[in-house]
Chains A and B, each alone.
Chain A
Amino acid sequence: DVVMTQSPLSLPVTLGQPASISCRSSQSLVHSDGNTYLNWFQQRPGQSPRRLIYKVSNRDSGVSDRFSGSGSGTDFTLKISRVEAEDVGVYYCMQGTHWPLTFGGGTKVEIK
């Protein structure tokens, strides 16, 4: 199975400052169809998960442009340009290239 490793596990950030979460996969996530199926999810406290980014860098409808995804191969990053209070929660990366699909362990974003 593809192992997804996120860092850091916990990310205390100052309001208005940028934040960055790393996600590394144990195998390349480039699919034979040419797509790279790397998604990012946000889960606010007490809420269902919500996808923010699909296929590395495509922002979902309604997602703030403060969120951006980048990367290739085995190394991916989620960036928040200016953290707001509503961004508090746990963030997960997920690979959809190889079966079984696998999630990272999560990064908890909190306000300093």
Chain B
Amino acid sequence: AQTVTQSQPEMSVQEAETVTLSCTYDTSESDYYLFWYKQPPSRQMILVIRQEAYKQQNATENRFSVNFQKAAKSFSLKISDSQLGDAAMYFCAYNRDDKIIFGKGTRLHILP
């Protein structure tokens, strides 16, 4: 069965600093997709970034980037120049076929 593990229940970072959220996953497939979702206090789920497993190049979206290590089954999210609006729950997710499986999330606090 596919599983997604986020080992950091909570993290804090100083405003304007950089933070990395960890994620590992377990799969026997070679073709799949990975995502990071953000859930702010409003609880609306927002897609932050996606990575296709067959692409070696790490995805980047403005201040958000990933470190995708396929062999290690690791998919970490780096947030640069952290802003107060980045405070949220962040979920790592794995997708193949018709379903997305989510990790339990990391709550990120931004310290002013």
Real complex partners, A and B?
Answer: no
Chain B interface (Cβ within 8 Å of chain A)?
none
